[in-house]
């Protein structure tokens, strides 16, 4: 009798193992063929050669929309500017959202690639600027389209609604908010989960990186105006010099992170721009500062912003600024993004799927970074949508290994004029990872 029970238990365990293996196999993404990959690399090159600035991504969006419509998606354009929402309904099941960003940066490309961008345009301030996909958004879009193609080809293996969104103005931290304000989750289905990828300038091709919990920082743009009493540079005692006060303010702001924030809590206060004065011998009336402020939680963010206001005000008062000329500190609500939170329960599902698709050694835990991403906003709505963004390695192994040697020059970072991803293997990995994520979430 005992032998019979043990035999039945063994058969049951075997049946369960086989069922789980079959389910895992059904969720595995179909591999790209080389002709399919050739087509996506061509798609990437076309995007890379024709970048558009934030909120001007009309032609970029149209290119992706045309592709998605040809695959059978129902596409709504002009959501939050040049954003779009593409839906593919495939029976009853969860709604899975995949997101790509569309915009380039005002950077003159210096990579020397044969397909380098030579685009120039006029920015919002009327200046002539070069434009480049210096943050890998062209890799994102090509992987996004590749995943759409593979998921359409695999419709018999999943059920649900595939929701693919193209988001404008990520680089200005404003595109996600614009789409949400335009009814993204009221006009269209509320997804059960949302996933995105981002190119990484420090990981090898063939690998992806992930962080459970907080993964990217909140991002605030702060404008400070310090008003003084101008006059002749030869009679400084008859003025209140805003240049001197600005210099003192810049130094005093550095005490926030070093003396007010817990040393174990990541925080950044960077003064990126300072402008004031007109002539050697003139003490001007005002100086303007521009800051970027980063943190990984809401409490630290409030501490940083409150401290900036306090230090700016009291530095000016100590220097004798008249009461009617006290400085102003303006925190941009348009360009603010909260810290990006990767839902750990989502990671528990996605990480095994990625290991199966890419190999366990190619799925790497990475620490949080102080860069910002407005993808965070999709997880901060009242709908409480679990979100997850992951990194895709873009540096070919030879370049990567060379950069690790003692004395070697560091790899160009994202937003650098010299950053270039290796497109073929970056896209191959991006497509596999996005497709594996979607298949897992549908199952």
Catalytic residues: 103, 170
Residues 6+ apart with CB under 8 A from 247: none
For the chain, how long is the longest CA-to-CA vector?
A: 107
Q: Strand 340-342 relative to strand 267-276: parallel, antiparallel, unpaired?
A: unpaired
Contact by Cβ (8 Å): 353, 440: yes
CA dihedral 345, 348, 351, 352 (to 10 degrees): -150
Backbone φ/ψ region at 274: left (φ over 0), alpha (ψ -120 to 50), beta? beta
**Torsion over CA: 149, 56, 275, 324 (sign):** negative
Q: Name the 3-class secondary structure at 95.
A: strand
Q: Strand 193-204 relative to strand 95-101: parallel, antiparallel, unpaired?
A: parallel
Which helix H or strand E contains 204, and what residues bound it? strand 193-204
Residues 435 and 155: their CA atoms lie apart, in Å, by 12
E strands along 74-147, which residues?
74-79, 83-90, 95-101, 120-122, 128-130
Query: What is the number of other CB atoms lying within 10 angstroms of the CB of residue 329?
Result: 18
Residues 102 and 74: their CA atoms lie apart, in Å, by 19
Hey, what are 9's tokens? 């238990």
Hey, what are 318's tokens? 């100590």
Backbone φ/ψ region at 320: left (φ over 0), alpha (ψ -120 to 50), beta? left
Residue 404, classified by CB atoms within 10 Å of its CB into exposed (0-12), middle (13-18) or buried (19+), is exposed
Which helix H or strand E contains 429, and what residues bound it? helix 423-442
β-sheet with 95-101: strand ranges across: 74-79, 83-90, 160-167, 95-101, 193-204, 387-395, 208-210, 363-365
Residues 304 and 176: their CA atoms lie apart, in Å, by 24
Q: Which residue has the tokens 């593409």?
A: 86
Residues 118 and 109: their CA atoms lie apart, in Å, by 7
Contact by Cβ (8 Å): 360, 440: no
């Amino acid at each position: 009798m005992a032998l019979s029970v043990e035999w039945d238990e063994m058969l049951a365990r075997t049946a369960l193992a086989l069922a789980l293996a079959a389910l895992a196999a059904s969720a595995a993404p179909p591999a790209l063929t080389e002709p399919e990959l050739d087509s996506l690399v061509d798609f990437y090159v076309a995007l890379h050669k024709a970048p558009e600035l934030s909120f001007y991504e009309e032609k970029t969006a149209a290119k992706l929309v045309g592709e998605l419509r040809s695959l059978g998606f129902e596409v709504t354009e002009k959501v939050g500017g040049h954003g779009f929402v593409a839906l593919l309904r495939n029976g009853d099941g969860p709604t899975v959202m995949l997101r790509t960003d569309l915009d380039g940066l005002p950077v003159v490309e210096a990579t020397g690639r044969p397909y380098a961008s030579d685009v120039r345009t006029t920015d919002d301030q009327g200046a002539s600027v070069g434009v480049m996909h210096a943050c890998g958004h062209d890799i994102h879009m090509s992987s996004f389209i590749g995943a759409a193609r593979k998921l359409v080809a695999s419709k018999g293996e999943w059920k649900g609604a595939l929701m693919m969104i193209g988001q404008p103005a990520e680089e200005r931290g404003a595109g996600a908010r614009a789409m949400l304000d335009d009814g993204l989750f009221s006009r269209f289905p509320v997804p059960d989960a949302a996933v995105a990828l981002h190119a990484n300038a420090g990981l090898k091709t063939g690998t992806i990186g992930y962080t459970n919990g907080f993964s990217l920082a909140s991002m605030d743009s702060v404008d400070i105006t310090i008003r003084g009493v101008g006059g002749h540079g030869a009679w400084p005692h008859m003025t209140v010099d805003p240049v001197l006060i600005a210099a003192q303010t810049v130094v005093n702001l550095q005490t926030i992170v070093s003396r007010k924030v817990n040393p174990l809590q990541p925080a950044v206060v960077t003064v990126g721009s300072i402008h004031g004065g007109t002539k050697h011998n003139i003490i001007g009336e005002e100086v303007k500062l521009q800051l970027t402020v980063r943190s990984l939680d809401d409490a630290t963010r409030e501490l940083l912003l409150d401290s900036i206001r306090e230090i700016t005000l009291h530095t000016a008062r100590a220097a004798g600024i008249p009461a009617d000329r006290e400085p102003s500190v303006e925190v941009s609500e348009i360009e603010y993004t909260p810290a990006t939170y990767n839902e750990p329960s989502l990671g528990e599902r996605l990480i095994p799927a990625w290991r199966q698709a890419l190999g366990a050694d190619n799925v790497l835990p990475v620490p949080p970074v102080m860069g910002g991403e407005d993808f965070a906003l999709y997880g901060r709505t009242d709908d409480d949508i679990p979100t997850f963004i992951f990194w895709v390695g873009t540096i070919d192994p030879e370049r990567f290994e060379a950069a690790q040697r003692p004395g070697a020059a560091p790899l160009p970072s994202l937003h650098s004029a010299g950053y270039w991803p290796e497109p073929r293997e970056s896209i191959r990995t991006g497509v596999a990872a996005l497709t594996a994520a979607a298949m897992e979430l549908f199952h």
